[in-house]
Amino acid sequence: MTPTDVAGTTIDELLRTADLLLAGHLDASAAARHRGASFALRTALEIAIDRTLEAAIPGLSRTTMRAKLLCLRHYTAPETAVRASALWHHVCLGCHYHQYEMGPTHAQVNAWRHEIAAVAGRLAPRSL
């Protein structure tokens, strides 16, 4: 797996997509827009994590997310790894219906969006 996916999608593109969905230009329920944005954000975070791991040990990004998050501690600042891990778990909650759980709120997704931009930024310099 490369840092960008098969369609060549970038972190910035995903963040912009999340912004568009959060801005409300879509005739879907708020829950769907927030959930859709969560998907885009989670992918952006996963790309940032994969990029870090791939730069360290090629092929490491092909394992489970749980393993990736554990490995991440060794290839970036521990604090950043903890933030990335916590963030990923949170965004996952936003992606699942989780037994009829109501979707995430605008504020929640918006917070994730900024945290992901920050964490992606912290992950990037180390990998370069």
Binding residues (CB under 8 A) for another protein: these are 1, 5-7, 9, 13-14, 16-17, 20-21, 25-33, 35-40, 42-43, 46-47, 50, 61, 95-97, 99-102, 105-106
Alpha-carbon span 29 to 61, nearest angstrom: 34
Task: Give min distance, CB of 30 to another protein, in A.
Answer: 6
| Nearer to another protein among residue 22 and residue 78 (C-beta) | 22
Task: Give min distance, CB of 69 to another protein, in A.
Answer: 13
CB neighbour burial string for 4-42, b if at least 16 within 10 angstroms, e if fewer: eeeeeeebebbbebbeebbeeeeeeeeeebbbbbbbbbb
| Nearer to another protein among residue 20 and residue 56 (C-beta) | 20
Question: How far apart, in Å, are the Cα atoms of 85 and each of 20, 21, 43, 60?
Answer: 25, 24, 14, 16
Task: Give min distance, CB of 71 to another protein, in A.
Answer: 15
Task: Give min distance, CB of 77 to another protein, in A.
Answer: 22
